[in-house]
Amino acid sequence: MHFSQKTNTGFTLVEIIIVVFLFGAMLVGLLSIFEWQQKIYTVEMAEIRVTSDARSVISNINTFMAQGIEVVASRIIEGTEYTTGGGTVIVRLPVIVSGGDVLADQFDYVVFHRDGTFLKQIIEAHPSSIRDSGIRELSSSVHNFSLNFNSGNLPAVNRVDVAITNRAYYRGDKFIDFSLSHSIFLRNN
């Protein structure tokens, strides 16, 4: 009888309430931490994206444009006509063949073209060039992109000032901007 009484003993209502309360408090705390960390994650991811995108854009433009022979007014590539000005620049490059030599009097063309929030790199490579033809998306978060030439006469341009601002949104209308600018000299002009 004494044994039976002991085994049927349950939690009192107070005990249950306390446990539920403690459990709830812990859950709220954990969720707060989770949400806080989620916010940090979102912001950090946005910052990383705008920063790395901008660096990648400037690095790519610098690498190609430094080898530029001249800035070209317009070029039709794969049926699309690109025109230098505003957010687009077309550069004529020497063709590099395997072995690292230059193919005389033949050219590759590279276009950097802003299309909304996208910045694209379009390459038209000579068949013998080690460069590959195609379109590559350098950034999808472009907010501002400007190109300034040191001459109004495009064939005479030998310096291009490039400026880019990338913008990434998080939690609705909140955003992070990251800006980079660089002066690039066309070493073959």
Partner 1 sequence: MNQSKQSGNVLLIAIVFMAILLTMSGSLWGYTHLQVKSSHQSVARSQALSLAEAGIDHAVAQLNSNPNYTGETNTSLESGSFVTTVETIDAQTKTITSVGTAIHRNIESTRTVKANVGIDTNQISFRYGVQVGTGGFVMSGGSQINGNVYSNGNISATTGVVITGSAVAANPPALTADQANDSPTPISSCTASTCITYGNATATQDFAQSFSPSIAAPMNNIQFYMRKQGNPGNATVRIVADNAGNPSTTQFMSGTLTASNVTSTFGWITVTMPTTPVLDPSQTYWIVLDGNSNSSNYYVMGANENGYANGTAKVGRYSASWSNTTPANLDGYFRVYLGGGTSMIGGNNYVTGVFVGTSATDEAWANHVQGATVSGPLYCQTSSHTNKACNTSRSNPPPQPMPLSENNILDWKNEAEAGGVTTGNVNVGWAGATIGPRKITGNLTVNGGGTLVVAGTLWIEGNISLSGGGKIVLSPSYGPHSGAIVTDGYVSLAGGSDFAGSGTPGSYPFLITTSACPVAVGCNGNDAISLSGGAGTVALIAQNGNVLINGGSSLRAVTAKQITMTGGATLVYDAGLVSDVFSSGPGGSWTIIKGSYIILD
- Two tokens, residue 159: 């310096």
| Distance separating alpha carbons of residues 161 and 149, to the nearest angstrom | 7
Looking at the Cβ atoms of 32 and 115, the one nearer to partner 1 is: 32
Q: Is 92 in the site for partner 1 (CB under 8 A)?
A: yes
Q: Is 155 in the site for partner 1 (CB under 8 A)?
A: yes
Q: Shortest gap between Cβ of 126 and partner 1 (angstroms)?
A: 13
What does 90-144 look like in DSSP terms, one character per residue? EEEEEEEETTTEEEEEEEEEEEEEEETTEEEEEEE--TT-SSPPEEEEEES-EEE
Q: Is 121 in the site for partner 1 (CB under 8 A)?
A: no
| Distance separating alpha carbons of residues 4 and 129, to the nearest angstrom | 91
Interface positions, 160-179, toward partner 1 (CB under 8 A): none
Q: Is 70 in the site for partner 1 (CB under 8 A)?
A: yes
The full length of the chain comes to 189
Residues in contact with partner 1 by CB under 8 A are: 7, 19, 22-23, 26-27, 30, 33-34, 37, 40-41, 44-45, 48, 51-52, 55-56, 59, 62-63, 66-67, 69-70, 92, 94, 96, 100, 102, 104, 151-153, 155-156, 187-189
